[in-house]
Amino acid sequence: MPKGYWISNYLEITDTNKLAAYAQLAGPAIQAGGGRFLARGTAAYAFESGHASRVVVIEFDSLEQAKATYDSPAYQSALAALDGGAVRDLRLVEGT
């Protein structure tokens, strides 16, 4: 079965306190959903139209598991805590 990847690119961080509150809730919610953090941090290099911004890559056993985690009450609580504290481009991608 193909894996699922959660890729989040932080285009702008507008409130570091809200981001910290989000992180306190999001990490445990994602791990409880079976997510494994593969990369977290500012891009070391950005090419073409890329931005050297914060990027998070999380692996799940399936795309469905990633989507279920996003939709979970625990992760939705984390999103409520973020409440506009960041502008992100978040994608769920099926991979190998």
At 25-51, the pLDDT tens digits run: 999 999 999 999 999 999 999 999 888
Note whether 87 and 9 are within 8 A (CB).
Answer: no
CATH number of the domain bearing residue 77:
3.30.70.100
Residues 61-92: pLDDT tens digits? 999 999 999 999 999 999 999 999 999 999 99
Query: Which range marks the domain in which residue 66 is found?
Result: 3-95
- Give the pTM: 0.92
Inter-residue contact 54 to 33 (CB < 8 Å): no
CA–CA gap between residue 88 and residue 53 (Å, rounded): 10
Number of domains in the chain: 1
d(CA 48, CA 94): 23
